[in-house]
Amino acid sequence: MSQYSVSARAYLKLFFHAAKHPQSSVNGVLLGKEEPSGAITIVDAVPLLHHWTSLSPMMEIGLDLAGRHAESMGLTLVGYYQACERIDDTSLAPVGERIAGKLRDGYKNAVALVIDGEKIGSGEAAVIPYTPQGPIWRPYSGESAAFGPGSIFQLSSADLPQRALSLVREQELHQKFGDFDDHLEDVTIDWLRNTACMPSDV
Amino acid sequence: MSLSHSALEKLATFRVNNTRASQETFQNASTVLKSFKRLGDDGWAVLEQLFLASVDVGRLDVADECLRQLGKQFPHSPRVDVLTGIRMEATESPDVVLEYYAQLLDADSANAAIWKRKISVLRRTGKIEKAVEELLQLLDTFYTDVEGWLELADIYTSCNQYIPALQALSHVLLLAAQNPFYQLQFAETAYTAGDIPLALKAFLVAVEMSERDLSDKSPPVGISVRAWLGVKLCSRRLLLNSSPSASNTPVPKNLHLIEELATERVLGVYSSKNSASRAPEGRDVVVGWVGDR
């Protein structure tokens, strides 16, 4: 299985998306590239919906637009992420599984990340990777716990979860974050880049 | 210390629109608790609003104080019973809460608010079939409950049951015929259900509803952006291949013209000539998408 590394930019965006809409499901796509070693770097994330997340037309359009954006940056759509409405729900199916499956049609090593509501305030990595086994996607269970030492899933730096938490709590950066749903209400919102809420070193 | 006029206005707007801006509402907590008695009748509504916001942000200490005051002022109130139930939901097990609701419903089976709380507990504990069963019974008794029909549609949609979702939404459209938001939800659900001709028709109605008061020259804003995107998405799909319609909705004869108009309207949204202050973002990818055949 490939190795996956989640960059600061991608992790912060997932985190901000979930933090901005605590009572809704949110979802989006992961952009990345394959390194010469074969490892996959998840470089960025593009947030899609926080409203009517089970309905497909805006999701379809958003996916298409995000794909074009990825291409323009020399990146590929390498995966999907979501946070469920309920804090104790970390399932991918049914909507997420469908979208992840579709992304896998375009990129065979596609991965899905589900945000772990219980861990979001803990300062630990708050995402659960899902990988496909045939048409069904399951939470990754390898020899080493995901995002721990030795795991094929890594964060680009160990302090990311803690940093994400303090950026939300102390600077409320997540309030400057906008997804495709927000953009459709106000097209001056930069949902593809979201540079306004990224710290200068990210 | 009192709430400023603008803070009161904002809280009132939240109440009218049923907005769940809990963190923002909670910021006024200490001021509300000190000054609500000076607000007249509105004061109790603001206190109830603070109660709900406090539960939402996990400040049960403040919630308890609000509930205590409300219970003192309105003893034996069914409305306070609902709040008591919500407070229980925050800390007690679902069984305990359901038992409490069952007792209240025994005493007054027509208490729709409590019934809805019961249904929401059933839904969030995974008892979907039971939730749907109860919700259908509730809607049988309270047919005009738009919120109930919307919840039913939401449950069906989350289980991929799009046709029943559309049926529920059609009741919403009957009950709230002038609301473009629900029309849009119907259109997006029809698309998800695979009934593209129905979705196109519904998106066009949504456009008509939301642009009724707009002058011809101004670009789409708000809901009509989504609606025009929907028109473009559907008309393009129908031009590429015919799509069966489970509802037997006919495809409009002037499909090409509709698609062209949708293209023009969507591009109009992203024209840099529009915005007074900031330029639209992400224009290139939209132009690319719109131009694709």
Residue B166 maps to which CATH number? 1.25.40.10
| B56, B192, B288: residue with CB nearest A56 | B192
Torsion of Cα atoms, B75 then B80 then B81 then B82, to 10°? 170
Residues B207 and B239 in one domain: yes
Residues B132 and B219 in one domain: no
With CA atoms as reference, report the closest residue to B226 among B214, B246, B209, B239. B209
- Element spanning A196, H or E: none
Gap between the Cα atoms of A175 and A89, Å rounded? 24
Residues B260, B202, single domain; the answer is: yes
Residue B91, pLDDT > 80, answer yes
C-beta atoms of A188 and B233 within 8 A: no
Residue B293 has pLDDT above 70, yes or no: no
Residue B237 falls inside a structural domain:
yes
Q: B94 or A143: whose pLDDT is higher? A: B94
- Identify the pLDDT of residue B274: 57
Which residue spans within chain A are E strands per DSSP?
A: 4-6, 26-34, 40-49, 76-83, 111-115, 127-133, 136-139, 153-155
> Which one of B150, B177, B204 terminates a domain?
B177
Whether pTM > 0.90 for this model: the answer is yes
Tell me what the pLDDT averaged over chain B comes to.
92
Residue B191 and residue B163 in one domain: no
Q: Which of B127, B151, B177 is the last residue of a domain?
A: B177
> Can the peptide bond before residue B280 be classed as cis, meaning omega within 30 degrees of 0?
no
Same domain, B172 and B190: no
Domain count of the fold of chain B: 2
The whole-angstrom distance between B262's CA and the closest CA on chain A is 14
| pLDDT value of position B276 | 63
For B161-216, write each residue's pLDDT tens digit: 999 999 999 999 999 999 999 999 999 999 999 999 999 999 999 999 988 877 66
Task: Say if B62 falls within a structural domain.
Answer: no
B151 occurs within a structural domain: yes
Q: Check CB contact of B233 with chain A, cutoff 8 Å.
A: yes
B201 shares a domain with B257: yes
Quick check: A64 and B278 CB within 8 A? no
Does residue B130 lie within any of the structural domains?
yes
Per DSSP, the residues of A35-62 read -TTS-EEEEEEEEEESSSTT--HHHHHH
Q: Which domain holds residue B168?
A: 119-177
Looking at the structure, tell me whether residues B203 and B265 fall in a common domain: yes
- Between chains, do A57 and B20 touch, taking CB under 8 Å as contact? no
Asked if the structure places residue B74 within a domain, the reply is no
Residues B259 and B170 in one domain: no
- A75: Cα separation from own chain's centroid: 15
Q: Exposed (0-12), middle (13-18) or buried (19+): which is A172, by Cβ within 10 Å?
A: middle
Residue A199's contacts (CB-CB under 8 Å, 6 or more residues apart) are A12, A167, A173
The residue-averaged pLDDT of B10-22 equals 88
Regarding whether B166 and B125 lie in a shared domain, the answer is: yes
pLDDT at B222: 86
| Three-class secondary structure of residue A154 per DSSP | strand
Which value does ipTM take for this structure? Answer: 0.94
Residue whose token pair is 């409590």 = B114
Report CA-CA distances (Å) from B113 to A39, A162, B116, B135.
54, 41, 5, 12
Q: Which of B177, B193, B216 is the last residue of a domain?
A: B177
Whether B198 and B286 share a structural domain: yes
* Euclidean distance between CA atoms A9 and A28, whole angstroms: 14
Q: Does B210 touch chain A (CB under 8 A)?
A: no
CA count, 13 A, side-chain hemisphere, B185 = 25
Whether residues A187 and B229 touch (CB distance < 8 A) is answered with: no
Backbone angle region of B98, left / alpha / beta, with phi > 0 → left and psi within -120 to 50 → alpha: alpha
- CB spacing of B275 vs A184 below 8 angstroms: no
Low-confidence ranges of chain A (pLDDT < 50): none
The DSSP call for residue A176 is G
For residue B113, being part of any structural domain is answered with no
Residue B72 placed within a domain: no
Going along chain A from its start, the domains and CATH numbers come out as 4-190 (3.40.140.10)
Assess whether B196 and B286 both reside in one domain: yes
B71 domain-assigned: no
Q: Give the tens place of pLDDT for each residue, B65-80.
A: 999 999 999 998 999 9
Grade residue B273 by pLDDT with cuts at 50, 70 and 90: low
